[in-house]
Amino acid sequence: MATKKAENVTSAELREEENEMMDVPFEVSEEEINEVQKEGNSEVSEPVSEENSEEMEEIDDASDNDDMSVDEAEEALLADDGVIEESEPKQKKKKERAPSKRERFNDARERERIAEQRRQERDRFSIAWKAMQQGMVRDHIFTGIVTGVDENEKYGKVMLAVSLEGQSASYRVKIVFEDIYRDGENAVKSTVEPITSAKDLMRRQKTMANKLIGAEIQFCIVNMLPPKDNTNLDDYMILGSRKKALQILEKQNYEAPNGVEPKIHEGSEVFGKVISVAYHSIQANIGGVDVSIPARFMTYRPMENMQLYYEPGQEIKVAVKSVKKNEAGETVIEVSGKLNELEAAKQKQATGAIRVGTTTWATITNYMRDKNRLICWLDSYEVPAGVNKLPAKAMYDEPKIGDQILVEIKGFGTHGMAVCAYIRKKQHR
For residues 316 and 271, is the Cβ–Cβ distance under 8 A? Answer: yes
Do 193 and 121 reside in the same domain of the chain?
yes
Do 222 and 302 reside in the same domain of the chain?
no
pLDDT of residue 219: 96
For residue 28, is pLDDT > 80?
no
pLDDT, one tens digit per residue, over 378-407 is 989 999 999 988 887 777 778 888 899 999
CATH of the domain at 266: 2.40.50.140
Q: Domain of 356?
A: 341-425
Mean pLDDT value across residues 260-285 = 91
pLDDT of residue 2: 43
387 within a domain of the structure (yes/no): yes
**Strand partners of residue 404:** 363
Mean pLDDT value across residues 17-26 = 46
CA atoms within 13 A on the CB side of 314: 15
Q: Work out the percent of the chain whose per-residue pLDDT is above 90.
A: 39
Confidence tier at 89 by pLDDT (50, 70, 90): low
Q: Quote the distance between the C-alpha of residue 362 and its chain's center.
A: 46
Across the chain, mean pLDDT equals: 79
Confidence tier at 70 by pLDDT (50, 70, 90): very low
Compute the distance between CA of residue 360 and CA of residue 408 in angstroms, rounded to an integer. Answer: 7
Least confident of 45-54, 126-135, 143-152, 201-210: 45-54
- Which of these three, 337, 352, 379, is where a domain ends? 337
412 within a domain of the structure (yes/no): yes
For residue 12, is pLDDT > 70?
no
44: left (phi over 0), alpha (psi -120 to 50) or beta: alpha
Compute the distance between CA of residue 230 and CA of residue 246 in angstroms, rounded to an integer. Answer: 35
Mean pLDDT value across residues 24-47 = 49
Confidence tier at 360 by pLDDT (50, 70, 90): very high
Do 307 and 357 reside in the same domain of the chain?
no
Do 266 and 319 reside in the same domain of the chain?
yes
| Residue 274 φ/ψ, nearest 5 degrees | -70, 130
Radius of gyration over alpha carbons of the chain, in Å?
53
Confidence tier at 38 by pLDDT (50, 70, 90): low
Number of domain units in the chain? 3
pLDDT of residue 249: 95
Do 375 and 402 reside in the same domain of the chain?
yes
pLDDT, one tens digit per residue, over 322-353 is 999 988 888 999 999 998 899 889 999 999 89
For residue 270, is pLDDT > 90?
yes
Angle made by CA atoms 135, 137, 142, in degrees to the nearest 5: 30
Least confident of 40-54, 152-166, 220-234: 40-54
347 within a domain of the structure (yes/no): yes
- Which of these three, 197, 218, 248, is where a domain ends? 248
Confidence tier at 189 by pLDDT (50, 70, 90): low
Do 299 and 286 reside in the same domain of the chain?
yes
Name the pairing type of β-strands 383-388 and 373-378: antiparallel
For residues 322 and 331, is the Cβ–Cβ distance under 8 A? Answer: no
- The type of residue at 85 is E
For residues 222 and 244, is the Cβ–Cβ distance under 8 A? Answer: yes
The secondary structure of the chain, three-state, reads: CHHHHHHCCCHHHHHHHHHHHHCCCCCCCHHHHHHHHHHHHHHHCCCCCHHHHHHHHHHHHHHHCCCCCHHHHHHHHHHHCCCCCCCCCCCCCCCCCCCCHHHHHHHHHHHHHHHHHHHHHHHHHHHHHHHHHHHHHCCCCEEEEEEEEEEECCCCEEEEEEEEECCCCEEEEEEEHHHCCCCHHHHHHCCCCCCCCHHHHHHHHHHHHHCCCCCEEEEEEEEEECCCCCCCCCCCEEEEEHHHHHHHHHHHHHCCCCCCCCCCCCCCEEEEEEEEECCCEEEEEECCEEEEEEHHHHCCCCCCCHHHCCCCCCEEEEEEEEEEECCCCCEEEEEECCHHHHHHHHHHHHCCCCCCCCEEEEEEEEEECCCCEEEEEECCCCEEEEEECCCHHHHHCCCCCCCEEEEEEEEECCCCCEEEEEEEECCCC
pLDDT of residue 258: 79
Do 333 and 390 reside in the same domain of the chain?
no
Q: Work out the percent of the chain whose per-residue pLDDT is above 70.
A: 74
CA distances from 131 to 141, 240, 337 (A): 13, 15, 37
What are 29-36's contacts with CB under 8 Å, separation 24+? none
Do 302 and 360 reside in the same domain of the chain?
no
- Which of these three, 316, 337, 358, is where a domain ends? 337
pLDDT, one tens digit per residue, over 210-251 is 989 998 999 999 999 998 877 788 889 999 999 999 999 999
pLDDT of residue 184: 64
pLDDT of residue 18: 46
Mean pLDDT value across residues 165-180 = 89
For residue 140, is pLDDT > 90?
yes
The sheet with strand 331-336 has its strands ordered as: 289-294, 281-286, 269-277, 315-325, 331-336
pLDDT of residue 104: 87
Compute the distance between CA of residue 105 and CA of residue 65 in angstroms, rounded to an integer. Answer: 40
